[in-house]
Amino acid sequence: MIMSGKPLAITSGLFICLAFLAGFSLFNANLAVSQVPVGDQNTAKSAPAAQTNPATVESQKSVENSNDKLTALNPSGTVQVDAANKRLLVKGRVVLREGQLEMLACPRQTKEHESIIAVDAPAQLVHAGLLALGAKTGTGVKFQPKFQPPTGEKLLINISWKDAQGKDHKVSAQSWVRNATRRYFVASLPKIDEELKFPEESGLIWDNRQKELLWYGHMTQEKKAELKKTVTDPRLQASIDKFFNDSQFAEMKADFVFVGSLFEADPDSGKQRYLADGGDLICVANFSTATIDVATASTNTGEDLLFEAYTERIPPVETPITLEIQLAEATAPKP
C-alpha cells in the first residue's frame, strides 16, 4: 500500500527491513511501509494509531525539515527512515526526569519507571529501521563464564524537542544521563579501631562492624569544607575528599551499540516474540535482550545501577521528543 499515492523506491536496506518484519510476523496485516512527506498528516489521521500519542506526532512536525521525504515504517509515522541523510527518526515523550535508570528509552507502557523516554513504537520496529539503514547487529552482554560487554555497530543518538517558548533544541542522548549519585559511597578504613560518632546532620555514617565510612548522594563543595573542619584524622579527610570526587555529576560517556535483541518462542502460542518489546529498547544498564545497549560494563542490579537521569537537562514530563539515530560510521568525516 502506497499511502502517499506515489511510487515507493525501496532500497536493498528496506528489503532487509521488510524481510525481518515478515520473517518473524512482526507486523499486523494492516501495517505497511509507506513514503509519507513530513507535515502531511492526512494519511496519518486515516491510519490506525493504537501505539501513537497524537499530541506527540502533531507537535513534532517542526523538528524535521518539511522538504525531506521520509519512509514511514508504520501508518502513524512514529518511526521514519531518512535514507538520504542515513538516519532513523523515532517519536516519543519524556516520562521520567529523576531517579536511577536501566533505559534511556523504552516502548510505551513497558518500563517507564526506569526510562527517561517512552517511544510510540515497538522495539522491533526500531530494529527494522536500523536494518534499513544498513546497520549490522552485534552480540548482547554475556555474564558467564566471564563478563563480556555488548558489541555491535556504533550509533550516534540525538534528542530533539521544542520548549514552552517554541525554541528548538537538539542534544546528544548521553547528555541526559549521568553517573549515579543517588546511592551510598563507601570508604573502607580497616585500621581505625575506635567507634566513630558523627552528628546525624553531618550525613556521615560509620559502620564499626565493617569498618566503613558511608556517604549518601551528591556532596557540594560547601559540604566538603564543612565536614573536613569536623575531623582531624588524615584518613577521614581523605575519605571525605573521595566522597566529594566520586559524587560529582558527570555526563555518561559510553557509546551506544546496535545489539539486536533476541527472539524466543512464546510458551503458549509457540510464535516467535522479540524480547526487547518488553522494554529493553535503548539500555544504559546491560541486558542481553537489548535492541541498543551501552558498550561498557553497566550493572542492571537494583541499588548498584551506574546511571541516573540528568534532571537539570531534561524538559518537563510529557514533552514530545524525537530520537535521531545514525550509524556512527556514516557520520564520520571523510579523509
- Cβ neighbours of residue 225 closer than 8 Å, sequence gap 6 or more: none
Q: Which residues in the chain show pLDDT less than 50?
A: 1-12, 15-16, 18-19, 22-67
pLDDT of residue 321: 98
Backbone angles phi, psi at 265, to 5 degrees: -75, 130
Write down the pTM of the prediction: 0.76
Burial of 269 (0-12, 13-18, 19+ CB in 10 A): exposed
Backbone angles phi, psi at 179, to 5 degrees: -60, 145
Q: Show contacts of 283-287: CB within 8 Å, 24+ apart.
A: 283/102, 283/103, 283/104, 284/101, 284/102, 284/103, 284/104, 284/177, 284/252, 284/254, 285/101, 285/102, 285/103, 286/141, 286/149, 286/150, 287/102, 287/140, 287/141
pLDDT of residue 332: 65
pLDDT of residue 335: 58
Residue of 100, 169, 164 lying closest to 322 (CA atoms): 169
- Which strand (E) or helix (H) includes residue 153? strand 153-162
pLDDT of residue 3: 33
Look-up of cell digits 541486558 = 287
Q: Show contacts of 143-148: CB within 8 Å, 24+ apart.
A: 147/297
